[in-house]
Structure 1
Amino acid sequence: MGPDEQQPLGRAEREEPTLGQRIEGHFQGKVLAGLMQLVPILVTVFVLAFIIGHTDGFIRPLPFVKDRPWDLPGVGLIGIIVVFYLIGLFVSVAVGRRTMGVMSFVLTKIPVVKTIFGVTEQATTILASDYNFSRVVFLEWPREGMVAIGFVTGRAFSQTGGHSLAIIYIPTVPNPTSGNMAFVNEDDLFETDLSVEDAIKLIFSGGIVLPERLAMARLPRDVEKKEREFIGRFETRPE
């Protein structure tokens, strides 16, 4: 190797970032964070404006609306709410549930349509599943030393051993509608103060939308100890 050739610097020998690089990194990080916070709002506003605009175009020309005092921009929103309310009433009775079941069965048999319907149904189920997920945990998955996020969906109790198993749903990223299920001893779980909502945002974003901080604790393996083993409180930041 000639005198002018340099070996690659090791991690410990790399130069510290300059002030300009730190400012650039700070600026890019804040822009990305602002964008991630603003995109859901913009998408929501766009979708609502699109739906209300089309429903206004359908409802306002109707005879009982046109040129009446309630013929105003945005009346389509009231129409949407009324339709959702009527559908909710309909599916709350046995006839409505059977009708929706038949419609779902038919849609799952149509090529291409069944794929779109299935993915949409699973996504809405996940988004509305706060009451099905009792809490968020971490567990060593898929191997020891690697920690994955999971949702507790239930528990199974031993009639003889006196211990319990937690039923954990381990979602895939960024599509939580698929994942794995595991039965895990309670003392093998890492407890956390991360909420279900924050965990779902974390999964959908692929780790970009991070909570500001989270704490982790582990149940004691010694049954005589009742206090959790505190792992630490971590402050998160994007790379």
Structure 2
Amino acid sequence: MYRRLRNSFIAGLVLLAPLGVTLFVLDFLRSKIGSRVTAMIPANILPPEIRRLPIVDFGLDMAAVVIVVLAITLLGLFSNYFLGKVLIIGTERVIDRVPFVNTVYRTVKQIVETFSKQQKAVFQKVVLTEYPRKGVYVLGFVTSVAKGEVQDKTGAEVINVFVPTTPNPTSGFLLMVPKDEIIELNMTVADGMKLIVSGGAVIPNHTQRPPQIAAEPVTISNPRAADIPPASGDAG
């Protein structure tokens, strides 16, 4: 009985987590951005007795959040034009000259670009590999085939596999695994990410997954993966 209640509680947390995070972000924007922008509104615009009403104060904060979001959106649109690109490049050059700040800025920029440019198919396939010892498996994402010095020194065909941490997939580590030690899965990258973020609680149905399409396909063959049913239309 205790185990069933515990499992039900964990399942409820998994269901409420997306809503809770969304509400947390909205409340953070309202309190940290909206309230500060609202404080800049001159006091003579609204009578004090109306301004002190909770519903009015909340409405002003949310309106300020909307204005800030629109301003960020306009900044993104402006960055697509020549003048916007020139200003952004100039700003980055100034930041690069500031010690410590330039390191933090470049690191955050690399992380954001890695996880935002989905059209480049950074993660190509979902795979399993034995780590940190034989008989223990980790879920990872193929990013590319190792080239250059790594391939020359190892003398084997090595695959770059990114293994995210749970439940924060923005951090992780890189494994360079021989191709014959990788088991390819049929689940999509999105389903693999859900499995990692949920700590294994959200398990995709492998019998209904379409084949993955990568910008630069990486062919992985492994005799141990023979018991995994191939996705429909999968060539390998």
Q: Distance in 2 between matches of 1:97 and 1:61?
A: 27
**Count of residues in correspondence between the two structures:** 190
Which of 171, 192, 197 is residue 185 of structure 2 equivalent to?
Answer: 192
Q: Which runs of 5+ in 1 are unaligned?
A: 1-22, 158-162, 223-227, 233-239
In terms of fraction of residues, the more strand-rich structure is 1
1:180 aligns with 2:174: yes
Partner of 2:74: 86
How far 1:175 moved relative to its partner?
4.6
Partner of 2:96: 105
1:202 aligns with 2:195: yes
In terms of fraction of residues, the more helix-rich structure is 2
Query: Normalised by the size of structure 2, how large is the TM-score?
Result: 0.59
Partner of 2:15: 37
Q: Which runs of 5+ in 2 are unaligned?
A: 47-55, 148-155, 208-219, 230-236
Alignment CA distance shift 1:39-1:221 (3 Å)? closer
Q: Distance in 1 between matches of 2:19 and 2:200?
A: 17
The one-letter amino acid of 2:226's match is E
Equivalence map 1:121-136=2 (5 Å): 124-125=112-113, 127-128=115-116, 130=118, 131-136=121-126
Alignment CA distance shift 1:37-1:125 (3 Å)? farther
1:219 aligns with 2:209: no
Partner of 1:138: 128
SS in 1 for 2:4: helix
The one-letter amino acid of 1:47's match is V
Alignment CA distance shift 1:35-1:121 (3 Å)? farther
Q: Distance in 1 between matches of 2:98 and 2:168?
A: 22
How far 1:210 moved relative to its partner?
3.0
How far 1:129 moved relative to its partner?
5.8
How far 1:97 moved relative to its partner?
3.6
Alignment CA distance shift 1:166-1:129 (3 Å)? farther
* 8 Å contact kept, 1:138–1:190: yes
Q: Distance in 2 between matches of 1:91 and 1:214?
A: 41
Query: Normalised by the size of structure 1, how large is the TM-score?
Result: 0.59
> How much is the aligned-residue C-alpha RMSD, in angstroms?
4.1
